[in-house]
Amino acid sequence: MNKEIIVSGIRPTGNLHLGNYLGAVTNFLKMQHEHNCFFFIADYHSLTTHPNPADLHANVRQVLVEYLACGLDPEVCTLYIQSDLPQIPELYMMLNMHAYKGELERVASFKEKVRTQPDNVNAGLLTYPVLMAADIIIHKATKVPVGKDQEQHLEMARTFGNRFNRIYNNSIFPEPYAFNYGKELVKIPGLLGGGKMSKSDGDGNVINLIDSPETIRKKMSKAVTDAGPTEPNTQPSPAVQNLFDLIKIVSTEDKLNHYQNLYATCSIRYGDLKKDLAEDMIIYLQPIREKIATISSDAALLKRVVELGREKASASAQKTLDECREAIGFKSF
Ligand code: TYM
């Protein structure tokens, strides 16, 4: 098989949740054996929210532990911390010179932040897609395993890479595309009836990989439903459809059919469904939860992994950056 270059990252905002796992990490696990993969912890990106230093470090460590617990193999792929690569902010700065206010203001994730956190609309938020483009194109990636929510950012990464090629008359950057092994990019729903599983709607909206059985039972019991079907064979409300979608992921097809039939015949009891789903979720996540606990106590392993990742990723990034410096006109005397 022809090996492609793959890049993807996750912001360290605490623990990984089921959306991160199914939208991104499950693809990483397979891809690492098939391609030349760079997976990182996007800690520069989390600076937009001004985390305190102790929290930032703890969160980076936790994502590293959870990446390893999920099965990322640092000997097979390149697993690194974004802030270990000064080449990334250097490329980001170069790309920023050709990124325009108007196009950045039109990005959906930026507009959402302007709406939800009007007191902290900083320049880092506006240029977030530029930094993300730098993350991706610094290794000349062609595929980027991400969930559906990142599609627009990938389009911008193509725009900025192509623009650099055109302006400096070269072909340094290939075009990166969002990727999922399934037919389509994935969007895992949250528990509170809204769109995607995301921490921005509170911890009650997400199932974290590390959540204990009691926490999962509690969160599932509070999952949003509706007043129940009043006529046979109607379309479930979005909140109930979310629960069916989660059953599809962690339970059996028989169980999904069972609850869909009960719904269609107006005899469903959401309490039973939620209890059943919680137990299957607990079983689904148990092996990862156990590995997280073991890896977390192995400080020597974590140090080794970070050093190895930094070395491999820097070599790749520096090569691209040297080409960019040359193309721009930063030449040695
Ligand atoms: P982040 O940290 O919000 O999410 C990490 C990954 O998890 C996916 N994801 C989901 N997929 C399906 N359903 C969900 N409910 C769900 N929630 C999260 C995201 O699509 C993502 O793949 N900007 C990125 C991080 C990043 C990055 C990059 C990714 C920075 N640089 C370069 C790829 C390449 C972000 O905030 O993802």
Q: Which atom of ligand 1 is nearest to the CA of 150?
A: 20
Q: Which domains does the chain have, with CATH numbers?
A: 5-186+298-328 (3.40.50.620), 199-293 (1.10.240.10)
Contact 84, 310 (CB under 8 A): yes
Closest Cα to atom 26 of ligand 1 = 9
3-state secondary structure of 37: strand
Residue 145: the pLDDT is: 97
Residue 241: the pLDDT is: 95
- pLDDT band at residue 187 under the 50/70/90 scheme: very high
Question: What mean pLDDT do residues 229-239 have?
Answer: 94
Closest Cα to atom 14 of ligand 1 = 19
Alpha helix positions (H), the chain:
18-20, 26-34, 43-46, 53-70, 87-96, 101-105, 108-116, 123-126, 128-137, 151-167, 213-221, 238-250, 253-264, 270-296, 299-328
Query: Ligand 1 pocket: which residues have CB below 6 Å?
Result: 7-11, 19-20, 23-24, 42, 45, 132, 135-136, 144, 146-147, 149-150, 153, 186-188, 196-198
Contact 34, 1 (CB under 8 A): yes
Tokens found for residue 96: 């920023």
Q: Which atom of ligand 1 is nearest to the CA of 188?
A: 13
Res 1 pLDDT > 80: no
Residue 13: the pLDDT is: 93
CB atoms within 10 A of CB 299: 9
- Ligand 1 pocket test: pick from 7, 16, 18, 20 the residue with the most ligand atoms within 8 Å of its Cβ: 20
Closest Cα to atom 1 of ligand 1 = 10
- Burial letters 226-255, b for 16+ CB under 10 A, else e: eeebeeeeeebeebbebbbebbebbbeeeb
Q: Which atom of ligand 1 is nearest to the CA of 195?
A: 15
CA of 147 to the centre of ligand 1 (A): 6
User: CA–CA separation, 91 vs 171, rounded Å?
Assistant: 16
User: Does this model's pTM top 0.85?
Assistant: yes
3-state secondary structure of 239: helix
Res 195 pLDDT > 90: no
Question: What mean pLDDT do residues 257-283 have?
Answer: 97
Tokens found for residue 164: 């650099």
CB atoms within 10 A of CB 182: 9
Tens-place pLDDT, residues 90-127:
999 999 999 999 999 999 999 999 999 999 999 999 99
